[in-house]
Amino acid sequence: MLDPAVGALLAGCYALLFASAALHKLLDLPRFAAVLDAYALLRGIARLAWIVPLSESGVAVGMLSGVTRPWAGLLGAVLLALYAAAIAINLRRGRTDLACGCGGPNERRPIAPWMVWRNLALALLMCGAALKWGNRPMVAVDALTVAAGLATAALLYVSLDRLLGQVLPRAQLLQGSS
């Protein structure tokens, strides 16, 4: 059982992550369809690209209700594991020039091994977010804790994503040029 404050923090983090992911795909669905098609995993998958942001939206909304949270957590974990598998398959094929599809609509980041591990770690944590919560009533300090934790987690995620997605590849390029 999770403490309700910890559960609310995890649920909020995943709701924010999946809402953000769905929004950036919906802002340019044709571009996302092209990214999805470039992974070359299933023929004609680009026609079904809308299912991904719809599923991500469902996870985001589902994480906010105690009734749907376990199912949303399971769906979110499956999606993250599928993303990890798609990236891993293409890395294994040597196709490191593919856009990951995980940045905003105007960002084109190539896939990298760290993305596989990130998605697998997020999937594992998401299973924890779907656990049953304890019965302790939430108090005002819990709301403050959850809000501060959510802000901190979001800033940390964005910072690490930026570091691993942009700074690390540039540093590797500089090391290779000397």
> What pLDDT, on a 0 to 100 scale, did the predictor assign at position 130?
77
> What pLDDT, on a 0 to 100 scale, did the predictor assign at position 26?
93
Where residue 134 falls (left for φ over 0; alpha for ψ -120 to 50; beta otherwise) is: beta
Q: Chain centroid to CA 88: how far?
A: 16
Q: What is the pLDDT of residues 115-173, one digit of tens each?
A: 999 999 999 999 887 788 888 999 999 999 999 999 999 899 888 877 777 665 555 55
Give all strands (DSSP E) within 7-156, no chain letters. none
Stated pTM of the model? 0.84
What whole-number distance in Å separates Cα of residue 127 and Cα of residue 69?
Answer: 10
